[in-house]
Amino acid sequence: MREYLQFINGSLVKSHSSEMIEVENPYTGVTMALAPQGDENDAQKALEAAQNAQSAWAAQPAAVRATYLQKMAKAIRENRIELAEILASEQAKVLPLAQVEVDFTADYFDYYAGWARIYEGEIIQSDRPKENILLFRQPIGVIVGICPWNFPLFVMARKVAPALLTGNTVVIKPSSETPATTMEFAKLVAGLDLPAGVLNIISGRGATLGETLVRSPITGMVTLTGSVEAGSRIIAATAENITKCSLELGGKAPAIVCADADLDLAVKAVVASRVIFSGQVCNCAERVYVQKEVAEEFTAKLVKAMKAVTYNDPFFTPVPDMSSQVSLDQLNKIEAMVERARQEGAEVLCGGKKADMDSGYFFEPTVLGKCSQNYEVVKKEVFGPVLPVLTYSDLDEAIDLANDCEYGLTSSIYTANIGKAFEAINRLKFGETYVNRENFEAMQGFHAGWRKSGIGGADGKHGLYEYLQTHVAYIQY
């Protein structure tokens, strides 16, 4: 069994605490790895290491910092098979998807390395003679990155790559559900010549180690990807030091299907979007609004497609569409939400229950008909393979129903009419809208939630500038 150490100040070290996280393979139920259940002392040491390393790191040219991102990308590629296997094992992600995540993570480091010679300050016209106003973009300092369990390696890179490139130093805390792949990455980084303290990776509970990290006056910025509840707690914890927060939180993505849409395409994209990683993806379709004229035809096609979704061991061939939920807690949460929907009046059109499997935490791909806007399953994030379907009369109504939600991460519309698509894009209160395709963002875009889905965002140019603060100089000559 793999047993991990903390990565602090350039070395793999034992945690101050002797407690360990037992990382369960959700499909087999077997403990596959042990990771430190780090405590406040580990957090403090990692923060101090990051603080001590920061000015020397920031003094390096960005192009030099970029070379370390390239080394991280190379190390990931050289270990791509093993990393994907660990990832697939620790969270029951089907192996090809785990491989996509690993490869995408390497590409992500290379992508941000490419920004070294591109990001820039500004020279602003002054109202005074013989004066220049220079706007510098400078690093914030020590960045604390808190990661969720669903895309542990990629989300880690989403924080580390732009933060390091811009001259910040970093402390990363993976979720205690899935620390293994991140701690494996820490081992790879320990083998590089990255200056000590520039990147620190420590595992432990959110409520103890995580809270210490986010409350510390050393921390210049917290970037969390996780639930709305954790986001609220982190806003409260960072209030005292007025620490900048970038929060990427939950979603409840609406998919609007217009009567003029290519229904086969819409079904394929909505199903792919709903069952990828067993429905445990923040940006994927969580509720469908279909125009009344085509509701019957669309729903029949949707039910047929959801019934055809395959699920099995994440390492099985032929590759199943999805696998086990990440934990028994998640499975029970999904089952309870479907049960409450049934009690509220929803009709189970397929699935609706735990799947009969020898091992793992499987929930059957589920479509719920006769749903109303006020049902919990339409309002709250399910994070499982469950799709409530509602109908609407015209686009105005569809947009109102889609917007009637506390989340604002992603949304989608299926239509053959580009005018309708633009109407929706202009009025949907979401950070992203996908037109005639499944919800899946690009690294050069900008992934940002509105309303309770978050503050700030990641990826591309705007994601890079999150990690920089401005400094203006007024120069008389």
Task: Write out the catalytic residue numbers.
Answer: 248, 282
Residue 99 or 150 with smaller CB distance to ligand NAD: 150
**DSSP line for 15-67:** -SS--EEEEE-TTT--EEEEEE-B-HHHHHHHHHHHHHHHHHHHHS-HHHHHH
Tokens standing for residue 332: 């029970």
Q: Is residue 111 part of the contact set for ligand NAD (CB under 6 A)?
A: no
* Alpha helices (runs of H) in 366-417, residue ranges in sequence order: 376-379, 395-403
Rounded to a whole number of angstroms, the minimum distance from the CB of residue 38 to ligand NAD is: 11
Q: How far is CA 329 from CA 7, 341, 377, 426, in A?
A: 29, 18, 17, 38
Build a one-symbol-per-residue string for 313-342: x at contacts with ligand NAD by CB under 6 A, - elsewhere. ------------------------------
Which one of 226, 360, 384, 408 is in contact with ligand NAD (CB under 6 A)?
226
Residue 212 or 312 with smaller CB distance to ligand NAD: 212
Build a one-symbol-per-residue string for 415-434: x at contacts with ligand NAD by CB under 6 A, - elsewhere. --------------------
Give dist(CA 238, CA 42) in Å, integer: 19
Build a one-symbol-per-residue string for 279-308: x at contacts with ligand NAD by CB under 6 A, - elsewhere. ---x--------------------------
Give dist(CA 383, CA 250) in Å, integer: 9
* Alpha helices (runs of H) in 242-389, residue ranges in sequence order: 263-275, 292-307, 328-344, 376-379
**# residues contacting ligand NAD (CB under 6 A):** 32
Residue 287 or 447 with smaller CB distance to ligand NAD: 447
Closest CA to 199 of 406, 58, 75, 47: 47
Q: Which residues does 246 contact at the CB level (< 8 Å), separation at least 6?
A: 221, 222, 223, 224, 454, 455, 456, 457, 458, 466
List the interface residues with ligand NAD, window 346-385 (CB under 6 A): 381, 383
Residue 316 or 465 with smaller CB distance to ligand NAD: 465
Contact of 228 with 249, CB cutoff 8 Å: yes
Q: Is residue 408 part of the contact set for ligand NAD (CB under 6 A)?
A: no
Q: Is residue 239 part of the contact set for ligand NAD (CB under 6 A)?
A: no
Give dist(CA 241, CA 51) in Å, integer: 16
Q: Is residue 457 part of the contact set for ligand NAD (CB under 6 A)?
A: no
Rounded to a whole number of angstroms, the minimum distance from the CB of residue 268 to ligand NAD is: 23
- H or E element at residue 2: strand 2-3
Contact of 46 with 199, CB cutoff 8 Å: no
Residue number closest to ligand NAD, CB atom: 206
Build a one-symbol-per-residue string for 146-185: x at contacts with ligand NAD by CB under 6 A, - elsewhere. xxxxxx---------------------x-xx---------
Q: How far is CA 310 from CA 34, 71, 294, 439, in A?
A: 31, 38, 26, 20
Rounded to a whole number of angstroms, the minimum distance from the CB of residue 177 to ligand NAD is: 6
Q: Is residue 107 part of the contact set for ligand NAD (CB under 6 A)?
A: no
Which one of 225, 323, 325, 366 is in contact with ligand NAD (CB under 6 A)?
225
Residue 147 or 368 with smaller CB distance to ligand NAD: 147
The angle that helices 180-190 and 152-165 make with each other, rounded to 10 degrees, is 40
Helix (H, G, I), strand (E, B) or coil at 385: coil
Beta-bridge mates of residue 472 = 135
**DSSP line for 158-175:** HHHHHHHHTT-EEEEE--
CB under 6 A: which stretch of 47-55, 143-151, 307-315, 389-397 binds ligand NAD?
A: 143-151
Build a one-symbol-per-residue string for 253-282: x at contacts with ligand NAD by CB under 6 A, - elsewhere. -----------------------------x
**Chain contacts with ligand NAD (rule: CB under 6 A):** 146-151, 173, 175-176, 206-207, 210-211, 214, 224-227, 230, 233-234, 248-251, 282, 381, 383, 409, 447, 449, 454
